[in-house]
Amino acid sequence: MRPVTWWRVRCGHGSWHCLAKILTTRTELPCLLTPASLARVWLSVGGDTVGGVVGEIEYLVGDATAPNGVGPRIVAHVCNDAGGWGKGFVVAISRRWREPEAAYRSWYRERATNDFALGAVQLVPVAGNLFVVNMIGQHGYRPSPGSPPVRYAAIETALTALGEKALDLGASVHMPRIGCGLAGGRWELIEPLIEERLAARGVAVTVYDLQP
């Protein structure tokens, strides 16, 4: 993958700025970075440290339907393409808000005339600056032998669209370990997609694990 040459950095006074067109040579950065490998790195300009690169996922123990922080926030999760809503993380969503389930069922019911398909996303306002995004990243909900319902390419496509929506809204993104429950996905394959399609683009991402 080609090196990243645009970075979003936090200066000493706490505000975020874009530092454009940093030449990615070994004399200016400790290593060449790609979106998939982007982690917190300190940049030095003229010998002075100016900030840390945004590109890492924050992990918390908690409930993704009660996202931390203030300002616009998006709760993201993966849905199936078969109209099923009743198991997994969607149960927690429906306990807190009615709108995401109603929107998903209507989206599926009218799929002949809309964009409902693997990789599609649906942004649902639920309260003030809080939104839920239904992402279609699972084919059906019953695994076939050797083939879980998760569809990694669809999740990647959905995350790309989610990134655009988050940037437009100036929103942070909050989620469980998407695609790794009933969908049967592997986090070591999904995490890099989140890093590249969200975190490396300057979207703050928090992943929540339930209290054991």
Report the side by side order of strands in the sheet with 130-138.
58-61, 205-209, 172-175, 73-80, 130-138, 121-127
Q: Which of 16, 36, 52 is the last residue of a domain?
A: 52
Verify that 62 and 30 share a domain, yes or no: no
73-131 confidence digits (pLDDT tens): 999 999 999 999 999 999 999 999 999 999 999 999 999 999 999 999 999 999 999 99
Any domain includes 2:
no
Q: How confident is the model at residue 153 (pLDDT cuts 50, 70, 90)?
A: very high
Verify that 12 and 36 share a domain, yes or no: yes
Any domain includes 151:
yes
Verify that 31 and 93 share a domain, yes or no: no
Any domain includes 138:
yes
Handedness of CA 72, 78, 82, 86 (dihedral sign): negative
Any domain includes 67:
yes
- Average pLDDT in the chain: 81
Q: What is the predicted pLDDT for the residue at 145?
A: 78
Verify that 182 and 165 share a domain, yes or no: yes
Verify that 11 and 79 share a domain, yes or no: no
Verify that 126 and 194 share a domain, yes or no: yes
Residue 6 has pLDDT above 90, yes or no: no
Domain count, the chain: 2
180-205 confidence digits (pLDDT tens): 999 999 999 999 999 999 999 999 99
Return the percentage of the chain with pLDDT > 70, whole number. Answer: 75
Under DSSP, the state recorded for 53 is B
Pairs from 65-68 (Cβ < 8 Å, separation ≥ 24)? 65/92, 65/93, 65/95, 65/96, 65/97, 66/96, 67/130, 67/172, 67/174, 67/206, 68/174, 68/206
- A 10 A CB-CB count for 45 gives 12
81/154 Cα distance (integer angstroms): 11
Q: Which of 35, 52, 69 is the last residue of a domain?
A: 52
Give the domain CATH number at 202: 3.40.220.10
30-81 confidence digits (pLDDT tens): 334 433 333 334 333 443 333 334 578 999 999 999 999 999 999 999 999 9
Q: What is the predicted pLDDT for the residue at 176?
A: 98
Verify that 98 and 115 share a domain, yes or no: yes
The boundaries of the domain holding residue 26 are: 7-52
Any domain includes 1:
no
Q: What is the predicted pLDDT for the residue at 164?
A: 98
Q: Which of 15, 36, 52 is the last residue of a domain?
A: 52
Verify that 18 and 81 share a domain, yes or no: no
Any domain includes 39:
yes
Coil, helix or strand at residue 80:
strand
Any domain includes 115:
yes
Verify that 159 and 141 share a domain, yes or no: yes
Verify that 75 and 42 share a domain, yes or no: no
Verify that 165 and 146 share a domain, yes or no: yes
Most confident of 7-11, 51-55, 157-161: 157-161
Please report the DSSP string for 119-171 in residue order.
T-EEEEEEETTEEEEEEEEESSSSPBTTB-SB-HHHHHHHHHHHHHHHHHHT-
Verify that 129 and 160 share a domain, yes or no: yes
Q: What is the predicted pLDDT for the residue at 204?
A: 97
Closest by CA to 183, choosing from 142, 211, 153, is 142
- Strand-pair partners of 75: 132, 174
88/24 Cα distance (integer angstroms): 43
Any domain includes 13:
yes
